[in-house]
Amino acid sequence: MREIAFIKQNKEKWLNIEQQLTVKNKISADDWSQMYVQLTNDLSFSQTYFPKSDLTVYLNNLASTVHQKVYTNYKYEKNVLSTFFFYDVPLIAYKYRKVLYFSLILFLVFVAIGVVSAAYDERFVRLILGDAYVNKTLENIANGDAMAVYKGSSNWGSAFGITLNNLYVGMRCYIYGFFLGFGTLYIMFQNAVMLGSFQYFFYEKGVFNESIRGIWLHGSMEIMAIVIEVCAGFMLGASILFPGTYTRMQSLKIGFKNSFKLFISTMPFTIFAGMIEGYITRYAKEMPNVLNYLIIFSTLGLITFYYFIYPYLVHRKTLKNS
């Protein structure tokens, strides 16, 4: 069968399934399962006879979306909260894994730009961090405690203020995705360059190890959460820029729904990072090195596993259950 004939034969069915994805009518898990089986059959045919066609890409994306509906509808009968964190979000992370990888790589590139800029222009750190912060930190380093800035207020006050600020940064990373993703790109650039110049500043002053032991107690989880929030913003922008076979409004609805779930999922990590910064980071100098690095690698490992590894495990499990 020629590709054109195959499309003509099944086009109405595919468009109907697309329509079902955008309406609010209650559709049973069994009905979604039937649609998924039909799509996988069509996808298998297309992969065999038209492997390099855009049609194969289209069917793969459509089948992936319907597959998520199948699994979600079965699981929602149990516990909404656990379903959200242990099934919905991982499946979204898997579906948009390329955007996730792109966000992480681009963030690291911008961090490197911050490092190089600070290394070749001694005024750059003051431009990015401000004279007041730099002067205060230099004073702290001279006094033998580079991380003294984290001891300036009460535990509770620091944790509360820091958490609110981090949630605000994350919200901007996401909301600015409505500006076709360019707003998100700008916020990411700001934060990544600041991080790079910030770390180089401590390296240049000979307190790099002390900064790692202190800043990354909370920073490992906080920074990774920002990367995920950036990914959510890019997903939102991409849904407007690249609607594919959907209308732009339909694409935006799907993109907003998925990206918002991913964004919301970062909040527990952001709040936890704020608690660490408020209650633990101030004691970084007094803590044993083993404990410092245990917290750093544990928090980094947790959030990395959840967004980069666990989605593959959930996806594999859903394939077995379908």
- Mean pLDDT to the nearest integer, 168-182: 95
Q: Which residue has the higher pLDDT, 203 or 23?
A: 203
Indicate whether 77 pLDDT > 60.
Answer: no
- Mean pLDDT to the nearest integer, 289-317: 94
- The per-residue pLDDT for 184 is 97
- The per-residue pLDDT for 74 is 57
269-298 confidence digits (pLDDT tens): 999 999 998 888 888 888 898 999 999 999
Categorize the per-residue pLDDT at 29 as very low, low, confident or very high, splitting at 50, 70 and 90: low
Q: What is the 3-state secondary structure (H, E, C) of the chain?
A: CCHHHHHHHHHHHHHHHHHHHHCCCCCCHHHHHHHHHHHHHHHHHHHHHCCCCHHHHHHHHHHHHHHHHHHHHHHCCCCHHHHHHHHHHHHHHHHCHHHHHHHHHHHHHHHHHHHHHHHHCCCHHHHHHCHHHHHHHHHHHHCCCCCHHHHCCCHHHHHHHHHHHHHHHHHHHHHHHHCCCHHHHHHHHHHHHHHHHHHHHHHHCCCHHHHHHHHHHHHHHHHHHHHHHHHHHHHHHHHHHCCCCCCHHHHHHHHHHHHHHHHHHCHHHHHHHHHHHHHCHHHCCCCCHHHHHHHHHHHHHHHHHHHHHHHHHHHHHHHHHC
Q: How far is CA 136 from the centre of its chain?
A: 33
Indicate whether 124 pLDDT > 80.
Answer: yes
Residue tagged 């579906």 (tokens): 95
Q: Which residue has the higher pLDDT, 168 or 37?
A: 168
Categorize the per-residue pLDDT at 322 as very low, low, confident or very high, splitting at 50, 70 and 90: low
Categorize the per-residue pLDDT at 316 as very low, low, confident or very high, splitting at 50, 70 and 90: confident
Quote the percentage of the chain above a pLDDT of 90.
46
- The per-residue pLDDT for 72 is 63
Indicate whether 162 pLDDT > 80.
Answer: yes
- The per-residue pLDDT for 310 is 96
* Cβ within 8 Å of residue 284, ≥6 positions away: 147, 150, 210, 213, 214, 217, 292
Which amino acid does the sequence have at 105?
I
Nearest to 283 by CA among 146, 88, 151: 151
Which pTM value belongs to this model? 0.78
- The per-residue pLDDT for 259 is 96
The full set of domain ranges for the chain reads 3-77, 94-321
- The per-residue pLDDT for 1 is 60
Highest mean pLDDT among 56-70, 233-247, 290-304: 290-304
Q: Which residue has the higher pLDDT, 138 or 26?
A: 138
- The per-residue pLDDT for 116 is 96
Q: Which residue has the higher pLDDT, 159 or 75?
A: 159
Categorize the per-residue pLDDT at 71 as very low, low, confident or very high, splitting at 50, 70 and 90: low
Nearest to 264 by CA among 159, 157, 175, 165: 175
8 Å CB contact between 62 and 254: no
